Structure 1
């Protein structure tokens, strides 16, 4: 059985679990407790990933894989899935959308860490605002593309974007991102109701 260092709050772990669920591999993973933190290093995770970040996966043969992009591609290859278009413009579009979703998660995490991990005297509001500006720009880009999105988590780019939007709901509800992005909100209402998404929501 594969082993995965797991955290219910991580959008990147969610991305892996959505892929695993869609590909029929979720039951082949042992989920290991973790406490990843930007300052307090969890040495348990470091056994699989020297960066001590989740997700980190070890295969039955002892191969350690990290981060979410590598793990998701491994799972897709293992299951002979179709989450990654094989060639042409469709492939590059999918990978660019994955980068957009992952980048939105990165920026949101940095904004959150500014106030949850730094002592008050070292917090920098301008830094956090700059990260949230990236989130806003990503949301605008998604709004312009969303009419072409599938309503099912059948593409790695859409899974990444869906997990990013779910993270905003979880950690940044005050942004009320739906108000200015009605097309994205309508798409996400359907996409997030898919069983693979519903089963992996952060808590």
Structure 2
């Protein structure tokens, strides 16, 4: 193994990379280094690899590093022999990247909800902020449910992986929101996607 991925299993941004590694049979080529950190307690190894202190980070065999999950996924997509996780060029590439970006935006909002509810005591939590983050997620889920749902029926590519990991994170960290009742088509899609071996192998523990 010549590459090291610094990640946290519960992070949807790290999880989607590991899902991709399973889907493309690259999993044996990357060492998975689990990092325990919070915004208030960053990890020194991560900071050395990425000055922002954010994970995931991929260290290449030459010692250089890549960070931001979409950058890492785009790089890894050049290393396998299967169908690309994102089309190489043309309008379809930009469309799939846009859908993946929308899933990532929801994920960022879900992580913000987690930080606000987990790291602040109840009396100090900003309810308007929490409501606004959930509204962002709701608008985007509505878009996938009613406008872009047909585009989820193809290969399990970067856009689908990003969405599936977001939905899994909602179950893990925003479990009070019963989103399935509001988005039945997405619920059915996720129920099938969640049974994929790559999703099963990367399911984080609830803690």
Write the distance in 1 (CA, Å) between the matches of 2:123 and 2:45.
31
SS in 2 for 1:71: helix
Preserved contact between residue 3 and residue 30 of structure 1 (Cα < 8 Å):
yes
Write the distance in 1 (CA, Å) between the matches of 2:97 and 2:154.
18
Give the superposition deviation at 1:88: 2.5
In structure 2, the partner of 1:147 is: 150
Q: Is residue 95 of structure 1 aligned with residue 136 of structure 2?
A: no
Per-residue CA deviations over 1:99-125 (Å, capped at 9, x if unaligned) read 111001100111111121235554211
Equivalent pairs, count: 202
Preserved contact between residue 167 and residue 202 of structure 1 (Cα < 8 Å):
no
Q: TM-score, normalised by structure 1?
A: 0.93
In structure 1, the partner of 2:116 is: 114
- CA pair 92-151 structure 1, distance change in 2 beyond 3 A: closer
Per-residue CA deviations over 1:61-81 (Å, capped at 9, x if unaligned) read 112010101110110012255
SS in 2 for 1:173: coil
SS in 1 for 2:58: strand
Q: Is residue 134 of structure 1 aligned with residue 136 of structure 2?
A: yes
Write the distance in 2 (CA, Å) between the matches of 1:171 and 1:123.
16
Q: TM-score, normalised by structure 2?
A: 0.92
In structure 1, the partner of 2:48 is: 47
SS in 2 for 1:174: coil
**1:6-25 equivalent positions in 2, closer than 5 A:** 6-25=7-26
In structure 1, the partner of 2:75 is: 74
Give the superposition deviation at 1:89: 2.4
Mark the runs of 5 or more structure 1 residues left unpaired by the alignment. Answer: none
